[in-house]
Structure 1
Amino acid sequence: MSRGFLSGVLMGGIVGSVGLAVASQMARPPGTTWPSVKAEPATVAADVSSSSDRAAVADAAGGADPASVPMAAGAVPAGPATDLVPPAGSEFARPLPDAPPVLPAADRAPSRSEMLPVAVPDVPDTSSPDTRTASRPQSVPLEPAVPVAPAGEAAAPARPATSLAAPVRLEGTAQPGVPAAEADPAAAELPPPPPLTPEEEAMLAEAAGITDPARPRMIEADPPRTTADGSRLPRIGDPDPTTQATVAPETDLPPIRRYARPFENPMQKPLFAVLLRDTGGPALDREALAGLPFPVTFVIDPQEPGATTAAAMYRAAGHEVLMLATGLPEGATAADAEVMLESAALAVPEAVGMIDLPSGGFQEARTLATQVVGILEAQGRGLVTHDRGLNAADQVARRQSLPAAVVFRSLDAEGANAAEIRRVLDRAAFKAAQEGRVAVYGDTRPETVQGLLEWTVEGRADAVALAPVTALMR
């Protein structure tokens, strides 16, 4: 850049000097006059550029008016600016030398040969995925080739052929090309599998074709085979018809089956059980309660004076009854539980099971709950508990395969009115749709019975199947 700037300054000086020299040659020296030249007016007019020159041309033209003489093209009229003349003795009009000026050479662009090459790094192309086919893995033989026995030795026995469908595992021997398998961990080292959630149980039931969650369908492993005359052939495990016992009469059935209310669910709706505790008193209309048009399980306090009569009235109407776990002292022992259950069974003999108290009771004490579950199992009755705490009684009952159910919600807590009871019933119906079954608990108060009747007519009772408690415990 500095080189171009200097060249421009030099060129400007040279051009300016040339211009000054030309101007000095064209200007008239001081004190001189143009010679008288006779020429044609048109010719003179072409060379006139000032007023004094026009006057001289006019004199030459025979006394013409200087104003009528035309000015040359590009001429400037006389005035203060044109009357200036260079001073005497100046070299302004000195002629320029004949040598041509020397101009600086222009900047030259570097040639391609002088340019240094720049290496461009290789960038992998990621615009398209690698679609090259991987090499096919070589198959590994399952067993090594049988070595050829040397001459004079007995040939080794032929080994059975191994197929891919039924691989043979050789204990203590390593196979070439196959990594050695790790030793199986002991059974005690594996954590127990988590229990199935209700959603997983529903998915399994749907996959197995079970539509009623309360009645699992038994799937036969092998369809029965018949002979030519249509009779079924005996199968392994069938009892001997000569020693098969006759069907037990109804009196030999346990109470949970003998006093259960018949129930069917052809629409396969979620099960909904309503449990009402008999509050007693002269104002209670047991006949109206027994005439309810849907299944109700009544809870009877065995220590009440009219417990046996009330249970018989409800049983005559076809309803199921449960005995309430009252009479257990604080800090009760196993002997106290046995005495309580025996007296309750005598007061309510047709009870299908026992229900714990809404608060307190035995279901939180594991030792006492284990004793109660054992006695109920010996009596042939089921167990109903409440959804609170760890509920040790329900855990023990399910571990010992005792029929059991859990109450989801209390209907008339803190003296709820009919509208509040209907809202609780709606929430319970939604719970039944999620889990397939639900049970609610309440007292035989007028508000509770009114809310229950209104809900069965106007609520979501159509979405569930009102069922006795034994349908939930099966």
Structure 2
Amino acid sequence: AETDDQATASERPPVRRLLPSAPETAPDTGGTTTAPSRPAIGTPAASLTDRNPGNSARLPSIGGGADTAIAEESALNVNVSGLPPLQRFAAPVDSDPDLPKMSIVMIDDGTGPLGPDTLEGFPFPVTFAIDPAIPGAAARMASYRASGYEVAALVNLPVAAQPTDVEQILGGAVAAVPEAVALIEAPGGGLQAERSVTEQASRFAADSGHGLVFLPNGLNTAQAIAQREAVPAISILRDFDGDGQDARTKRRFLDGGAFRARQDGAVVMLGRLTPDTLSALVLWSLQDRASSVAMVPISTLLLDTSN
């Protein structure tokens, strides 16, 4: 028989106990665990730069490409700036190596109506000798250089100049025409007035890295002096328009220069930037004699003398 206590307990309503359940145990995967698909609290998020590169989530650095380009350009400029002016500012030329070479130097003294803006489409390369004493010499130099021509500084020493004066005068010429490839003796310029003057000019060019171009003078002793100082130097064959020659005479002198180039391998002709001379050069370039030589800037001939 049931006791009173047992009967009372069976009549009581059941009470459900609410207890926290034990955490679920992850199935054993043989030692390999899989990272949760979402970040858990307390776990630091990954950096944007540490994401999978295949997702293209890596952000490009601003200015990174520009910095690289600037660094490469700076290295190139350093290399170029280490060259002497004769190489650094030489105009590029594409000529037939089998042909004799001929170079035309044209004096620009700033007095004529022509200038850098009037030479578009000129048929062959020309070197312009700028008088450093004219106003705006550097601006004219920049205009020629922008048009693809090379320039030289015209040198005019005063009468009875002493060797001590030469360095100062040549230094001023280079400062006025800073992208000159060479120092060219002006008609009556006095670079060959005395041996001591020529020697001082040669030493200056050896230090500055410029070439020297002399007027024709007998056995061209000045050229030999400069070359002994390891200075690229050459002498002009003829001033073809200095005495008011007409157009036919100018073309005849140019023909003579081409003939001499075939004998000697290279010549330099000197003229002036005037409408008549420019017209004579253009007409001469259309003749058969002009096609027998390679027209090159003066730097090409000077560099050939140093090789």
**Is 2:216 the partner of 1:387?**
yes
**Is 2:148 the partner of 1:318?**
yes
**Aligned-residue offset at 1:320:** 1.1
Which residue of structure 1 lines up, in the alignment, with residue 127 of structure 2?
A: 297
Which residue of structure 1 lines up, in the alignment, with residue 99 of structure 2?
A: 269
Which residue of structure 1 lines up, in the alignment, with residue 42 of structure 2?
A: none
State the one-letter code of the partner of 2:286.
V
TM-score by length of 1: 0.46
Alpha-carbon distance change, 417 to 282 in structure 1, aligned in 2, over 3 angstroms: closer
What is the alpha-carbon distance in structure 2 between the residues aligned to residue 397 and residue 423 of structure 1?
Answer: 31
What is the alpha-carbon distance in structure 2 between the residues aligned to residue 442 and residue 456 of structure 1?
Answer: 15
Which residue of structure 2 lines up, in the alignment, with residue 367 of structure 1?
A: 196
What is the alpha-carbon distance in structure 1 between the residues aligned to residue 96 and residue 247 of structure 2?
Answer: 31
**Same amino acid, percent of matched pairs:** 39
TM-score by length of 2: 0.70
**Is 2:270 the partner of 1:441?**
yes
User: 1:235-274, aligned counterparts within 5 Å?
Assistant: 249-274=79-104
Secondary structure at the counterpart of residue 270 of structure 2: strand
Name the one with the larger strand percent: 2
What is the alpha-carbon distance in structure 2 between the residues aligned to residue 439 and residue 369 of structure 1?
Answer: 20
What is the alpha-carbon distance in structure 1 between the residues aligned to residue 113 and residue 227 of structure 2?
Answer: 39
Alpha-carbon distance change, 426 to 420 in structure 1, aligned in 2, over 3 angstroms: same
**Aligned-residue offset at 1:386:** 1.4
Contact 2:216 2:237 in 1 (8 A): yes
What is the alpha-carbon distance in structure 2 between the residues aligned to residue 268 and residue 421 of structure 1?
Answer: 26
**Aligned-residue offset at 1:312:** 0.9
Secondary structure at the counterpart of residue 148 of structure 2: coil
**Aligned-residue offset at 1:291:** 4.1
Secondary structure at the counterpart of residue 458 of structure 1: coil
Secondary structure at the counterpart of residue 281 of structure 2: helix
Rg bigger for which structure? 1
What is the alpha-carbon distance in structure 2 between the residues aligned to residue 329 and residue 432 of structure 1?
Answer: 33
Secondary structure at the counterpart of residue 330 of structure 1: coil
State the one-letter code of the partner of 1:467.
V
**Deviation digits for residues 58-98 of structure 1 (CA, Å, limit 9, x no counterpart):** xxxxxxxxxxxxxxxxxxxxxxxxxxxxxxxxxxxxxxxxx
**Deviation digits for residues 397-428 of structure 1 (CA, Å, limit 9, x no counterpart):** 11122111111011113211111111001010
Which residue of structure 2 lines up, in the alignment, with residue 206 of structure 1?
A: none
Number of corresponding residues: 228
What is the alpha-carbon distance in structure 2 between the residues aligned to residue 361 and residue 290 of structure 1?
Answer: 34
Secondary structure at the counterpart of residue 109 of structure 2: coil
What is the alpha-carbon distance in structure 2 between the residues aligned to residue 332 and residue 260 of structure 1?
Answer: 30
What is the alpha-carbon distance in structure 1 between the residues aligned to residue 150 and residue 274 of structure 2?
Answer: 19
**Is 2:177 the partner of 1:348?**
yes
Alpha-carbon distance change, 282 to 262 in structure 1, aligned in 2, over 3 angstroms: closer
**Is 2:293 the partner of 1:458?**
no
The one of 95, 110, 115 aligned to 1:280: 110
**Aligned-residue offset at 1:445:** 1.4
RMSD: 1.8
Structure 2 regions of 5+ residues with no counterpart? 1-74
**Aligned-residue offset at 1:322:** 0.8
